[in-house]
Amino acid sequence: MATLLTAIDQVVAGDVAAVGSLKTAAAHMPMLAEGLSGAIATRFPDQFAG
């Protein structure tokens, strides 16, 4: 989360380092999505097939 917040702060400030920070933050999104999707499927099993 800190990486994403850093990237946002850099974009707002016009810092060119934001490009690298955004790439790093984007690389973390699949891990976040995996955790969230598993938790949501566990919490609402009747909403998902399989």
Mean pLDDT per segment of 10 residues, for the chain of length 50 residues? 84 93 90 93 89
Residue 38 has what pLDDT? 92
Residue 49 resides in a domain:
no
Nearest to residue 10, comparing CAs of 2, 1, 21?
A: 21
Residue 36 maps to a domain: yes
Alpha helices in 1-50 (DSSP H): 2-13, 18-43
Is 20 inside any structural domain? yes
Question: Does residue 34 sit within a domain?
Answer: yes
* Residue 7 belongs to domain spanning: 2-44
The answer to the question of residue 22 being in a domain is yes
Give the chain's domain count.
1
Q: Is residue 50 a part of any domain in this protein?
A: no
pLDDT score for 1: 59
